[in-house]
Structure 1
């Protein structure tokens, strides 16, 4: 517990400081975190990062992750999405060239992993550089942390009905509801002092989307770890596991907020 608290304080303080600084330090931090998270996924799949397929996984993820103002393919007269699609074609061709030594399943894993990590952290960067980006990003962080805390303490005190025992046996329906309730309470208090939206309806919808999709993101990573029979995604953060263990909710929330036009 002591190690967990020390890690949380030090890593949390550094993380929040760089978010406030923004600009290039923030972008570089997101690239580093995404790279570590991608490596954790490759380890789960028992795929070496230094292998040709491992390197291609990082390249695909970086294409989706890094903003266009930092890297572009205009000199090739194609955009980032076209480059991503071109590399998918290359991956599929490799299943034939290698006579299935590199399989369709492995190609699918690389593509889905690069989308999961790349877009998740990309919209983290995207949000920070919005007009109210810092306030919005802190709002999202607070809502996710409130949801996690509310779910944990409510589930521990009142949890009786399992939420999804085949995926995460300790999570309960009562805990999930408690997480949403605390997120709502904390979110309302936050927006009283730092207004984000012009209407309360938009604020309520935002809180609900973040809290619910955050819990779903946590379940997605739980399903992933259960499939690959690992306890933690990594050991980067002593007492807390890996980067994916800490950012599973956030990288699921960010693209959803963008897709439903809340960013």
Structure 2
């Protein structure tokens, strides 16, 4: 199988799994997010091979994800503060007993980073599959994925065609300012189309902001993961998706966009 066919086939499978999970049921979305959290944890351990990450960080990820799922099922409202405290305490306790705890805090720092980076997005995202009345409506989460994919695609196409000015050459030499602007424009257009062709509680200005966040947050997420990979001196975060690299390579934008959208909705 050629590399191009492999990339296309597994890319289609990845998209199909994402769409099926979020469009069928909220609990399937929780399951999908749980898998992302676990796989992402092990990829982050590889990316920090010099300092590693405590397994208490995985426990913290599961605590936040499980708390979010419990609160969703029983309709108590989202409150992750106790889970966040428990997760950090678990990491601190493991650090006390680590063999090198008296000479370095790198593993503890990486472990807290893993919880913040992975646990918050996977715990928040499934809540985007219900409206303010508690009815199932996955339009927003679907829209975020579509806008992120749209931004990535057109940032690449525009950047390859007319890109001349580097956006952040140190972390991503191929990204251009022109590509960034082009990706943003099409992400906003995608948001506009979601407003026109779907029925949701969100206004046109909301969807425009979702497009902006998908572009800006998605680009920052990509650059953040690039920094992690450059630190580890690797091209991909793993081999989870043949032809595409690791799972983090595919969801790096999503991990930044979800908390930013949640903040936007919370402020509103």
Q: Corresponding residue for 1:187?
A: 191
When residues 258 and 17 of structure 1 are mapped into structure 2, their CA distance, relative to the original with a 3 A threshold, is same
Q: Corresponding residue for 2:27?
A: 24
Q: What is the TM-score of this pair, normalised by structure 2?
A: 0.86
Mean Cα deviation higher: 12-21 or 127-136: 127-136
When residues 168 and 112 of structure 1 are mapped into structure 2, their CA distance, relative to the original with a 3 A threshold, is same
When residues 87 and 54 of structure 1 are mapped into structure 2, their CA distance, relative to the original with a 3 A threshold, is closer
1:160 aligns to what SS in structure 2? coil
Of 237, 240, 250, 1:233 maps to 237
| Cα distance in 2 for residues equivalent to 1:247 and 1:119 | 13
Q: Corresponding residue for 1:165?
A: 169
| Cα distance in 1 for residues equivalent to 2:5 and 2:68 | 42
Structure 1 residue ranges, 4+ long, deviating more than 6 angstroms after superposition: none
Contact 1:184 1:207 in 2 (8 A): yes
| Cα distance in 2 for residues equivalent to 1:138 and 1:69 | 19
Contact 1:33 1:243 in 2 (8 A): yes
Q: Deviations over 1:116-140 (max 9, x none)?
A: 0111211122222444640101111
Q: Corresponding residue for 2:181?
A: 177
Contact 1:94 1:102 in 2 (8 A): no
1:59 pairs with 2:59:
yes
Q: Corresponding residue for 1:13?
A: 16
Structure 2 unpaired stretches of 5+: 73-80
Shift of the alpha carbon at 1:101? Answer: 6.7
Q: What is the TM-score of this pair, normalised by structure 1?
A: 0.87
When residues 48 and 23 of structure 1 are mapped into structure 2, their CA distance, relative to the original with a 3 A threshold, is farther
| Cα distance in 1 for residues equivalent to 2:260 and 2:185 | 20
When residues 183 and 23 of structure 1 are mapped into structure 2, their CA distance, relative to the original with a 3 A threshold, is closer
When residues 36 and 48 of structure 1 are mapped into structure 2, their CA distance, relative to the original with a 3 A threshold, is farther
Q: Corresponding residue for 2:138?
A: 134
Structure 1 unpaired stretches of 5+: 73-77
| Cα distance in 2 for residues equivalent to 1:139 and 1:18 | 14
1:260 aligns to what SS in structure 2? helix
Contact 2:225 2:252 in 1 (8 A): yes
Of 237, 256, 260, 2:264 maps to 260
| Cα distance in 1 for residues equivalent to 2:215 and 2:127 | 20
Shift of the alpha carbon at 1:211? Answer: 1.5
Shift of the alpha carbon at 1:195? Answer: 4.0
Shift of the alpha carbon at 1:18? Answer: 1.8
Q: Deviations over 1:5-56 (max 9, x none)?
A: 010112221221122222433322211121001100001112799xxx6421
Aligned residues between the structures? 253
When residues 102 and 40 of structure 1 are mapped into structure 2, their CA distance, relative to the original with a 3 A threshold, is farther
Tell me how large the CA RMSD over aligned residues is.
2.5
When residues 199 and 55 of structure 1 are mapped into structure 2, their CA distance, relative to the original with a 3 A threshold, is closer
